[in-house]
Amino acid sequence: PAQPRERLRVAIQKSGRLGDPARELLASCGLTWRESRDRLFCYGESLPVDLLLVRDDDIPGLIADGVCDLGIVGRNVLVEHGLAREAQGRGVELTEWRQLGWGTCRLDIAIDEEQEWTGPEQLAGLRIATSYPHTLGRWLAEQGVQAEPVVLNGSVEIAPRLGQADVVCDLVSTGGTLRANQLTPVTTILHSEAVIAGPGHQLDDGRQEIADLLLRRLDGAVQLKE
Ligand code: PRT
Ligand code: ZN
């Protein structure tokens, strides 16, 4: 494995919905940083905890490959990554070390608002637009339904109007985006929130001790907020 490291490296989203809250949470644990000029790396000053600022989709892979020790990411991204990895026979156990209670959303099936919902069997043979094919596939298998995932990396909600798909499976928080596209959520396949993701085993070198200290402070910070 990698060379010994006595500093903890935490991956967080560079921008987007989870980036600022993740930094605020870590700052509330007493962390301070010196930022690199390109703002991709933050060197921890008050504790040996460095940040890597990346796309959220890259966070599970960075942990699985041992480049980072922990990450703050949506459960939706973690679950999809785990199932994709499993499908390739490269199962690496990443687990949720903490649930953070913010960044909440649902991965929902949504259908044309004019249509009636009678249950999952209704999806048989339909094209389902999604950015989460593995999570969707697992749910369809559990339901015993065969459908055709159409993988899109953005603008999932307009796929039915463009004729690319019949229904969608997408993240929903307020539901405004679905409504604007004449879609209505009918069932939830995953409840998501921001989590601290990490390996399914203890860290090596001195890093587990640093992680324990960080998590103790984090638990304190989360309790203070409640
Ligand atoms: O650039 P990068 O790849 O890092 O970011 P990204 O664009 O992939 O992700 P980002 O920042 O949009 O979301 C990061 C994480 O926030 C997601 O992986 C979820 O865990 C969480 N989250 C919480 C959401 C939402 N709520 C959400 N509403 N992610 C996306 N949405 C989308 C939703 O699909 C819809 O298109 O936001 C739109 C508005 O939602 P409504 O329901 O309020 O209309
Ligand atoms: Zn992303």
Q: Which residues line ligand 1 (CB under 6 A)?
A: 13, 16-18, 55-57, 74, 76-77, 103, 105, 170-177, 192
pLDDT value for 2 = 54
Tell me, in angstroms, the distance from the centre of ligand 1 to residue 17's CA: 7
Cα distance between residue 224 and residue 40, in whole Å: 30
What pTM does this model have? 0.96
Strands 148-151 and 127-130: what pairing?
A: parallel
Domain 105-192 -> CATH class: alpha beta
pLDDT tens digits along 90-121: 877 899 999 999 999 999 999 999 999 999 99
Residues with Cβ–ion distance below 5 A, ligand 2: 56-57
pLDDT tens digits along 123-136: 999 999 999 999 99
The strand pairing partners of 110, in sequence order, are 168, 185
The CATH number of the structural domain formed by 8-103+193-225 is 3.40.190.10
Q: Atom of ligand 1 at shortest distance to CA of 104?
A: 23
Q: Phi, psi at residue 173, to the nearest 5°?
A: -115, -70
pLDDT tens digits along 29-81: 999 999 888 889 999 999 999 999 999 999 999 999 999 999 999 999 999 99
Tell me, in angstroms, the distance from the centre of ligand 1 to residue 171's CA: 7
- Least confident stretch, 2-11, 32-41, 134-143: 2-11
- DSSP string of the chain? -PPP-SSEEEEEESSSTTHHHHHHHHHTTT--EEE-TTSSEEEESSSSEEEEEE-GGGHHHHHHTTS-SEEEEEHHHHHHHHHHHHHTT----EEEEEE-S-S-EEEEEEEETTS----GGGGTT-EEEES-HHHHHHHHHHHT---EEEE-SS-GGGHHHHTS-SEEEEEESSSHHHHHTTEEEEEEEEEE-EEEEEESS--STTHHHHHHHHHHHHHHHHHHH-
Q: Which residues contact 214 (CB under 8 A, 6 or more apart)?
A: 8, 29, 47, 49
Tell me, in angstroms, the distance from the centre of ligand 2 to residue 141's CA: 25
Domain locations along the chain: 8-103+193-225, 105-192
> What's the one-letter identity of residue 207?
R
Q: Are the folds of 8-103+193-225 and 105-192 the same? A: yes
Q: Phi, psi at residue 96, to the nearest 5°?
A: -85, 115
pLDDT value for 3 = 62
Report the percent of the chain where pLDDT is more than 70: 98
Residue nearest to atom 36 of ligand 1 (CA): 177
Cα distance between residue 217 and residue 28, in whole Å: 8
Give me the sign of the Cα torsion angle 198, 203, 207, 208: positive
Tell me, in angstroms, the distance from the centre of ligand 1 to residue 193's CA: 11
